[in-house]
Structure 1
Amino acid sequence: MKQSRLMSLVEAVANVIVGYGVAVVTQILIFPVFGLHTTLAQNLKMGAVFTVVSITRSYVLRRLFERLKKGQP
């Protein structure tokens, strides 16, 4: 079954929203272990940057694999 471009984007966004929360919590817990001390606002901003990158990556990979599945160059 073929997934539409819109549904590819929806799936990628849903995946990254969950990932965003996990990433921010992980940063809060792990950064101090490495001597990095950031504010909540800084963690949220860094998480936002990584989120945009992750959405783009997920969407591009999904479209690439959809094209490969069709056998198109």
Structure 2
Amino acid sequence: MRQSRSGSLLETAVSTAIGFVVSWCATLIVLPLFGHAVTAGPAFGITCIYTVLSVLRGYAVRRAFNRLAARRAARVIGGGNAQ
């Protein structure tokens, strides 16, 4: 069963929100263990930066895999082995 676009968007938004909260809490706990004093505000900023980077990375990887799949499909349909 395929997932609708709105379902995919909702799943991605919920996953990102949960990851954001987990990362923000981890930043508040982990950085002091390494000798870096951090309060909620800067931890929030750090988490925002890493969340944006993570979303961009995930998008780039997904697009790359989609390109690879499209090339493979074209080869199968075309019956050739050219790359």
TM-score, with length taken from structure 1: 0.74
* Residue type at the aligned position of 2:29: L
Residue 69 of structure 2 corresponds to 69
Structure 1 segments unaligned to the other structure (5+ residues): none
The whole-number CA distance in structure 1 between the counterparts of 2:32 and 2:45 is 17
Secondary structure of the residue aligned to 1:71 is helix
Once superposed, what is the RMSD of the aligned Cα atoms?
2.9
How many pairs does the alignment contain?
A: 73
Using CA pairs under 8 Å that are at least 6 residues apart, name the structure with larger relative contact order, 1 or 2.
1
Sequence identity percentage: 31
In structure 2, the CA distance between the partners of 1:8 and 1:59, relative to structure 1 (3 Å rule), is farther
Structure 2 segments unaligned to the other structure (5+ residues): 73-82
TM-score, with length taken from structure 2: 0.67
